[in-house]
Amino acid sequence: MSQPARRVQEFLAAPRSMFVAGRWGDALSGARLDSLDPATGRVLTSIPAGDEHDVDVAVRAARAALDDPRWRDLSPMDRGRLLDRLADLVEENADELALLEAYDNGKPVGVARAVDVGTTVKLFRYFAGWPSKFEGSTIPVSPRGGLKVLNYTVHEPVGVVAAVVPWNFPMSMASWKLAPALAMGNAVVLKPAEITSLSTLRLAELIDEAGFPPGVVNVVTGRGAVAGAALAAHDDVDKIAFTGSTAVGRQIARAATGNMKNVSLELGGKSPNIVLPDADLAEVIAAATDAVFFNQGQVCTAGSRLYVHADVYDEVMAGLVERTRRIVVGPGTDPATQMGPVVSAAQLATVGEYLDLGREQGATVLTGGGPVTGLGEDYAGGYFVAPTIFADTDHTMRVVREEIFGPVLVAMRWTDTDELVTLANDTPYGLSAGIWTRNLTDAHRLAGRIKAGTVWINCYNYTDPASPFGGYKQSGWGREMGHAVLGSYTETKSVWVNLS
């Protein structure tokens, strides 16, 4: 057994604790939740089921950390150094973290290594540079009566930040919040998804090892409707940063009005991927398959609505079907696997309902359309579903209108550009879009007409800590990453000094 594999087995061999106020412990109630392996349906280990009392202790620890000179008085350079140290530690433990994510979430270990762990390292690395660079301004104001003043702005931490994150990219979604929040000097209480808390708990060990003072980062595991809701409603939380479904985002925004906490939301999507007739079709066939089936389709930006120009529709669809049939489905821990199981039995059931619904509403299954069996006795209880392509679909169908969050593509043909734009924007979401063409003018014109926070031209599913990410319409509030996010983790103070 390799060293990372041995470390993962050791990690899974013990019931896990959660990390509050710099200490590892159980929930106050002692309640626990099992964490399952989606490839087998078997229990990997268990985690504390934190509730509102644990949330309260964690929020108090975070509040205290904001006043701890070891955090409050740390120089910007030294805060950056801690983030850099954390990036180093994640990198040093990359193989172990990737394997742990593959066990807990089900995703292929190569995806976990390149995307989940890779993104986490880049996030801490990128935001490590910001504490010493996010400057205020001096502002040439014109006060009444000719008063001479110096007016300047400073960016201060918002305070106690709650982060509630989903299960599709567990550790990296947590890091999307942690990195900018810590860079700006906040203290964080993080609630991972109950079915994928393990990598975040391992990350918390590395946060501890990096030397962040106690209480600066707290991880409360538990159910969303209990621990997550308690964070959203807590009167001493200054900001809540949420990634997840639009339905839960709405509840969080409502709960946040109690103390008018600052809210940022990254929500769902049903993204159009658009093929023009002059596109490089070989490239389109490969990339459009990956755009929707990457990470078992459990990606908020999944290119799940494909619009192919009628002139090339038959050729593109034939290529997509052929490529999709070759996708190797299996356990994520097997390096040969290209698509793992979906994350849970509940998610498997949801995807199954949409497959039935698509057929009932008249869509045609070109490939896939049901569970994958025959992977061997060990995996008989796993949550495997075949990558599925629906044709003969239109905008009256629920499989076209709703986010499935599984490996299901709906394909449509188009001829008129104005009609295409109307269809592409005919969705409550606005997270992302893809455009495939060799014509730069068409590409930029179309990019300008799609209501989405990210548009990829001749590529798909790229994100970077330096580039802003977020949604139009019901895909969210605010932007994450890049310098765009820094304002959402700071309060700007305007200071007036009378010089007369």
For residues 96-125, which are near Mg ion according to CB under 5 A? Answer: 104
Number of residues that bind ligand NAP (CB under 6 A): 30
Catalytic residue among 194, 300, 403, 480: 300
Query: 153 pairs with which residues across the strands?
Result: 494
Percent helix / strand / coil, the chain, rounded to 5: 40, 20, 40
Active-site pick, 96, 194, 266, 480: 266
Q: What is the 3-state secondary structure (H, E, C) of 175-221?
A: HHHHHHHHHCCCEEEEECCCCCCHHHHHHHHHHHHHCCCCCCEEECC
Distance in angstroms between the alpha carbons of the first and the last residue of the chain: 74
Active site residue 266: yes
DSSP 494: E
Our CB check for Mg ion shows the closer of 198 and 423 to be 198
Q: Spell out, one character per residue from 413 to 452, where the chain touches ligand NAP: x when CB under 6 A holds, - when not.
A: ------------------x---------------------
Map residues 158-197 to x or -, x wherever contact with Mg ion holds by CB under 5 A. Answer: -------------------------------------x--
Task: Please give the structure tokens belonging to residue 406.
Answer: 């599984």
CA dist 137 and 152 (Å) reads: 5
Within positions 27 to 46, which residues make up the interface with Mg ion, using CB under 5 A? 35-36
When the beta carbons of 44 and 288 are compared against Mg ion, the nearer one is 44
405 binds, among ligand NAP, Mg ion, none (CB under 5 to 8 A by kind): ligand NAP
Asked if 407 touches ligand NAP (CB under 6 A), the answer is no
Which of 403, 412, 481, 488 touches ligand NAP (CB under 6 A)? 403
DSSP lists the bridge partners of residue 160 as 187
User: Which parts of 166-225 interact with ligand NAP (CB under 6 A)?
Assistant: 166-168, 173, 191, 193-194, 223-225
Min separation Cβ 49 and ligand NAP, Å: 10
- Is 209 among the catalytic positions? no
Angle between helices 170-183 and 118-128 (to 10 degrees): 0
Given CA atoms 460, 464, 468, 471 in this order, what sign does their dihedral have? positive
- Asked if 238 interacts with ligand NAP (CB under 6 A), we say no
**Of residues 85 and 261, the one with the C-beta less far from ligand NAP:** 261
| Helix 76-92, helix 170-183: angle, nearest 10 | 160
Q: What is the SS3 string spanning 339-378?
A: ECCCCCHHHHHHHHHHHHHHHHCCCEEEECCCECCCCCHH
Contact 488, 138 (CB under 8 A): no
What is the set of active-site residues?
A: 266, 300
Residues that bind Mg ion (CB under 5 A): 35-36, 104, 195
Which residues are near ligand NAP by CB under 6 A?
164-168, 173, 191, 193-194, 223-225, 228-229, 232, 243-245, 248, 251-252, 266-269, 300, 403, 405, 431, 476
